[in-house]
């Protein structure tokens, strides 16, 4: 029963939008460092999202996670600004490059200035990496529109280095990669989410940054209710042991939703859900379980099941779990 659980859809659109609103300079420094060095960050930059919506509302093809238009000042000693069209694209789109070109010239019609288009490809299609749109007439080249792209899949295998970075987008990219990797594996997604949340504590980050990063992790690494109950219980225990309260403060943004829903169904039903979930994890890791272990699962209370669930990550044998 538990093995058939599916992960709910992750909310990457809200996650990336909030991240860009909170950390736009850090976004530029992470993905477009050379360009970021040319921007006068001491000057206020301006988000022009409502202006961009005039164009994007007419084109709903494809899964655009985020569309943003930002006006920044440049370091050149004069009143000079640059328009940046930032797009985080969630899925493959056949007419993607052409659509970006259409936005490009529409922005020029509106502002009388050429914008620079920056693209984050957050999809799971390895071979898709658009970078330009070429126009021909009767076989003659007419125009070539180019945009700057970064593909999140290109960061695979660099997760440790991503987490070691001070820039918050290191963790965000690691979380997004984990979400793509675990689309159909709730157990693996639970382990990634638990690991990343613990990492927030261990890094000694400021409270505001912890909460912002938690919001991103929570929206990206969505879990079935059964796994969410175990995740929340484990984090509360880790929080108690660490004597910190940052994530407890996040209860208002929904962290406890899964636990509360589970408790509403009754303590015994919640205990049975935890037992079934732990049994599935044990079988996945150790294959066959002896009858005494099965009996222990049937008789254990919620707190004991939670403790066993935490031990399973490091355990090499069933005895180390129980």
Q: What CATH number does the domain containing 136 carry?
A: 3.30.300
Q: Which of 238-252, 257-271, 272-286 has the lowest mean pLDDT?
A: 257-271
Asked if residues 202 and 195 have their Cβ atoms less than 8 Å apart, the reply is: no
Q: Which of 10-19, 30-39, 166-175 has the lowest mean pLDDT?
A: 10-19
- Is 305 within a domain? no
- Is 11 within a domain? no
**Would you state the pLDDT for residue 316?**
74
- Closest of 123, 137, 209 to residue 166, by C-alpha: 209
Asked if residues 285 and 250 have their Cβ atoms less than 8 Å apart, the reply is: no
- Is 244 within a domain? no
- Is 104 within a domain? yes
* Domains in the chain, number: 1
Residue-wise pLDDT for 239-249, tens only, equals: 777 766 655 44
- Is 122 within a domain? yes
- Is 64 within a domain? yes
- Is 67 within a domain? yes
Is the pLDDT confidence value at 58 over 80? no
- Is 172 within a domain? no
Residue-wise pLDDT for 175-214, tens only, equals: 999 999 998 888 899 999 999 988 887 777 777 888 889 8
Dihedral (Cα; 70, 73, 74, 79), 10-degree rounding: 140
Question: CB pairs under 8 A, 24+ apart, for 241-247?
Answer: 242/201, 244/201, 246/200, 246/201, 246/207, 246/210, 246/211, 246/214, 247/197, 247/200, 247/201, 247/210, 247/214
Q: In terms of residue numbers, what domain contains 144?
A: 32-154
């Amino acid at each position: 029963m538990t093995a058939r659980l599916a992960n709910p859809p992750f909310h990457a659109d809200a996650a990336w939008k909030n991240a860009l609103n909170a950390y736009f300079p850090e976004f530029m420094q992470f993905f477009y460092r050379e360009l970021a060095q040319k921007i006068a960050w001491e000057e206020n930059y301006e988000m022009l999202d409502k202006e961009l919506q005039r164009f994007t509302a007419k084109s709903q093809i494809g899964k655009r996670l985020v569309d943003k238009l930002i006006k920044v000042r440049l370091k050149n000693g004069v009143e000079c600004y640059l328009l940046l069209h930032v797009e985080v694209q969630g899925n493959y789109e056949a007419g993607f490059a052409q659509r970006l070109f259409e936005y490009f010239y529409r922005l020029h019609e509106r502002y009388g200035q050429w914008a620079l288009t920056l693209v984050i490809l957050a999809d799971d299609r390895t071979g898709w990496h658009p970078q330009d749109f070429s126009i021909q007439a009767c076989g003659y080249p007419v125009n070539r529109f180019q945009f700057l792209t970064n593909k999140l899949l290109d960061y695979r295998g660099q997760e440790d280095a991503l987490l070691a970075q001070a820039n918050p987008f290191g963790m965000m990219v690691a979380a997004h990669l984990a979400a793509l990797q675990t689309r159909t594996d709730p157990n693996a997604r639970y382990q990634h989410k638990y690991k990343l949340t613990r990492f927030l504590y261990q890094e000694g980050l400021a409270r505001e940054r912890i909460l912002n990063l938690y919001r991103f992790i929570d929206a990206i690494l969505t879990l079935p209710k059964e796994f969410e109950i175990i995740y929340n219980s484990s984090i509360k225990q880790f929080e108690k042991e660490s004597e910190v309260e940052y994530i407890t403060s996040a209860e208002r943004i929904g962290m406890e939703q899964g636990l509360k829903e589970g408790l509403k169904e009754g303590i015994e039903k919640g205990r049975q859900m935890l037992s079934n979930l732990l049994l599935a994890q044990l079988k996945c890791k150790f294959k066959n379980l002896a009858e005494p272990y099965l009996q222990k699962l049937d008789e254990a209370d919620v707190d004991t099941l939670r403790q066993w669930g935490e031990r399973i990550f490091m355990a090499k044998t069933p005895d180390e779990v129980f």
